[in-house]
Amino acid sequence: LGADDYVTKPFSMKVLLARISAMLRRGDSPAGSVEVLREGPFELDRTRHELKVNGQLIGVTATEFRLLGVLMEASGRVLDRSALIDRVLGKSAVVLDRTIDVHITSLRKKVGLEQADANPAGWIQTVRGVGYSFRRPQDDE
């Protein structure tokens, strides 16, 4: 046990909530979270903040990195846009649902999956009208 921060009285609720949010953002990996996710050609190393595809290091933004991590953790399940926004950008994020679409498109281009919608064996799949899924190619057979 210990203390990472404190607030003196009187305090504003706004300050308290801001400090709690900051602590949650800085917190360690979520409980049960795996430090290195490996699936097919993908290797996502959270400790080094590295993404490798087929052994090649790929440069992605922090948001794209978190997005891929969330999709890989939920491998095989469809996540709707609002769930992705909550888990990637935070519950308090005020963004359009299509923001996730932009990040997915950018991520696909960087890892060479820009044709994923046309390719049924693609890893990052769009589920039209719902959201996205990360699936192994054999899941579609």
As a whole number of angstroms, the longest Cα–Cα distance in the chain is: 62
Q: What is the pLDDT of residue 111?
A: 85
In a domain, 108, yes or no: yes
Taking CA atoms, 91 is separated from 19, 20, 25, 66, 97, in Å, by: 15, 13, 12, 14, 13
> Any alpha helices (H) in 44-122, and if so which ranges?
62-73, 81-89, 98-111
In a domain, 57, yes or no: yes
Contact by Cβ (8 Å): 25, 66: no
In a domain, 97, yes or no: yes
Q: What is the pLDDT of residue 116?
A: 45
Q: What is the pLDDT of residue 30?
A: 52
Q: What is the pLDDT of residue 57?
A: 92
3-class DSSP assignment, residue 90? coil
Query: pLDDT (tens digit, 9 = 90+) per residue, 88-114?
Result: 888 777 777 788 899 999 998 888 765
In a domain, 6, yes or no: no
- How far the first Cα of the chain sits from its last, in Å, is 50
- Could you tell me the pTM of the whole model? 0.68
d(CA 99, CA 106): 11
121: tokens are 């064996």
In a domain, 7, yes or no: no
In a domain, 5, yes or no: no
* Residue 18: CATH number of its domain: 1.10.10.10
Q: What is the span of the domain harbouring residue 46?
A: 13-140
> Tell me, what DSSP letter sits at residue 140?
G
3-class DSSP assignment, residue 100? helix
